[in-house]
Amino acid sequence: MNTLVFDHVHNNGQANSQPSEAPAPQSKKLPDPQVIEKATRRRFSAADKLRILKEADACHKPGELGALLRREGLYSSNLTSFRKQRDQGKLRQSHSDKKVTQRKVNEATRQRDNRQVAKMQKQIQQLTGLLELQKKLSDLLGIHLEDLTTNGSD
């Protein structure tokens, strides 16, 4: 966007009032004013939770714990839930590795089961097609399938 600017240059006591084209000053980019529909929640790793708990347990003077919470952007309820998780043994470092391995095993099992279901559905479609073909063939040849089943069981 270009704007007209009057340059006032003093030459021997005379002002120059000639308009000149000057580019608009570049300002810093403004942040997008749109609000995100749903904010993403912060997630703390087990190591972060243990570090925060260690720092919280080391706070003995008045105001230290509040300063820690403000610095980390937490509420006291977060510390309470972190402590519960630590007491239940959910904050072990190896726990996350086991969880990832278990997810991979579960995913592999789910994929195997999906393949088996797809294979069985294909077989069902083939068998239904064969049954339909058998019915049409018996109608064309004039053979009644009900008579064959009763004669075969005698």
Block means of pLDDT (10 residues each) for the chain, 154 residues, are 49 52 63 74 89 94 94 94 92 67 87 95 95 90 70 52
What is the pLDDT, as a whole number, of residue 65?
Answer: 94
Q: Which two tokens stand for residue 94?
A: 């190896």
| H-helix or E-strand spanning residue 2 | strand 2-6
Closest to 54 (Cα-Cα) out of 72, 37, 33, 34: 72
What is the pLDDT, as a whole number, of residue 1?
Answer: 47
Q: In the chain, where are the structural domains located? A: 46-141
What is the pLDDT, as a whole number, of residue 22?
Answer: 55
Adjacent-strand bridge partners of 20: 5
Adjacent-strand bridge partners of 99: none
pTM of the model: 0.39
For 106-127, letters b (16+ CB in 10 Å) and e give: eeeeeeeeeeeeeeeeeeeeee
The SS3 assignment for 24 reads: coil
